[in-house]
Amino acid sequence: MSLHILFPHLRGFRLLSSDREAKRLVLICERVTPTALCPVCGVIAHRIYSRDPRTAWDLSVQNVQVVLHLHVRKFYCDQPSCPRRIFAERLPQVTSPHGRFTFGLRESLAQLGREHGGAAGARSAQLQGLQATERSILRLMHALPLPPIAAPRIIGLDEWAWKRGQRYGAVVVDLERKKPIALLVDRSQQTVAHWLKGYPTIEYVARDRSKECAAAITEALPHATHVADRWHLAKNLTEHLDKVVSARWKQLTKAAGEAELPPEAVAASVPAHRPRQSPGEARYQQLLALREEGHPTRTIAKRLGVEQRTRKPLAGRGAWSLCWTTQTTTRGRSTGRRVICGSDGIPVSATAHSSGRS
């Protein structure tokens, strides 16, 4: 059987020997073409300088990894004007000049990385008989060429942090296809304008308030319409409202004081009729029962598993209230939580929302 039926990329090679080891199949091949092209001047070279062994890992056969031991030659370049005197012949169908994986293996591992990621891709490769580490798969995946960009018509241009607080670039999003299509190294007018000039099909640009971006769009796409994006519209509105409220703060507080409802209207934080008894109410009934039995507050709090002291009432009056409690941890950090308290200020619920305050 010819070598090229299973290994079409080895056309131009002759199989010298094969060896089946435990987990791999080793093929020793030599080049049979008599000449090679100089990679610098492109002239055909005939004189062989030496033969050097080279190893490349190939796709598996029957889940057995294939390893190629290739006898690669070095040639003299006889072109007088060429600066390269000796060169190693290239293997454009097999692998790159310094590659350890064949092109087929590189593509297969990169696809595994795209489908499964680094760690899972490495496990899948092992099941197929391919020996590759997680880092190798990620490196091959990142080396894949990006898909071509369809001509965008409506784009969004916004800030992008290469490293938060230190280095910022720009991200370009195709808003019709809802896909990011470019990451620019910085937000300078020159960089943004250079990218925009490559896409004259753009008609609308949603952007932030950067003056450099506005100038770049005007320079590269004078016909395009500028649109403020949704986040910056909300930001603009917030800032204007803040100015209006700040300027009329006295009048607003005075009007709010006149319109304040009587205290009894807001006192009831618990509805009069509830179809079921809540867990907090059950705990409160336990608390009342323990108090009637004459237990001190510390014992009651310990039995119910709640904090003993409350600090600050937050909302609610009468039989129930929402309070802020604080306690100090063993590391000396002060933490707090919101709890539901009874009329005497003792928490009856440890299940309210909690948060930390340092």
The tokens for 327 are: 């306690």
Question: CB burial class (10 A; 0-12, 13-18, 19+) of residue 71?
Answer: middle
75 pairs with which residues across the strands?
A: 48, 87
Span of 41-49, 97-105, 183-191, 316-324 interacting with Zn ion by CB under 5 A: 41-49
The tokens for 12 are: 């131009």
Taking the least distance from each CB to Zn ion, the nearer of 42 and 305 is: 42
Q: Tokens 């299509």: give the residue.
A: 181
Task: Choose which of 38, 155, 192, 301 interacts with Zn ion (CB under 5 A).
Answer: 38
Q: Does 88 bind Zn ion (CB under 5 A)?
A: no
Q: How far apart (Å, rounded) are the C-alpha atoms in residues 85 and 51? A: 16
- Shortest separation between residue 52's beta carbon and Zn ion, angstroms: 19
Taking the least distance from each CB to Zn ion, the nearer of 46 and 135 is: 46
- Shortest separation between residue 79's beta carbon and Zn ion, angstroms: 5
User: Judging by DSSP bridges, how do beta strands 24-31 and 64-76 pair with one another?
Assistant: parallel
- Shortest separation between residue 77's beta carbon and Zn ion, angstroms: 3
Taking the least distance from each CB to Zn ion, the nearer of 36 and 122 is: 36
Q: Does 227 bind Zn ion (CB under 5 A)?
A: no
- Shortest separation between residue 37's beta carbon and Zn ion, angstroms: 9
Per residue in 43-66, is it b (16+ CB within 10 Å) or e — as a string?
A: eebeeeeeeeebebbbbbeeeebb
Task: Choose which of 6, 16, 40, 270 interacts with Zn ion (CB under 5 A).
Answer: 40
Q: Does 82 bind Zn ion (CB under 5 A)?
A: yes
Q: How far apart (Å, rounded) are the C-alpha atoms in residues 47 and 55? A: 23
Q: How far apart (Å, rounded) are the C-alpha atoms in residues 341 and 351? A: 12
Task: Choose which of 26, 28, 37, 41 interacts with Zn ion (CB under 5 A).
Answer: 41
- Shortest separation between residue 40's beta carbon and Zn ion, angstroms: 5
CA–centroid distance for 267 within its chain: 48
Which amino acid, 110?
A
Specify the DSSP element, H or E, that contains 86.
strand 86-88
- Shortest separation between residue 83's beta carbon and Zn ion, angstroms: 8
Taking the least distance from each CB to Zn ion, the nearer of 38 and 339 is: 38
Among 301, 308, 314, 324, which residue's Cα sits nearest to residue 269? 314
- Shortest separation between residue 177's beta carbon and Zn ion, angstroms: 47
Tell me, residue by residue from 48 to 77, as one string, x for binding to Zn ion by CB under 5 A and - for no binding.
Answer: -----------------------------x
State the residues that interact with Zn ion by CB under 5 A: 38, 40-41, 77, 79, 82, 84
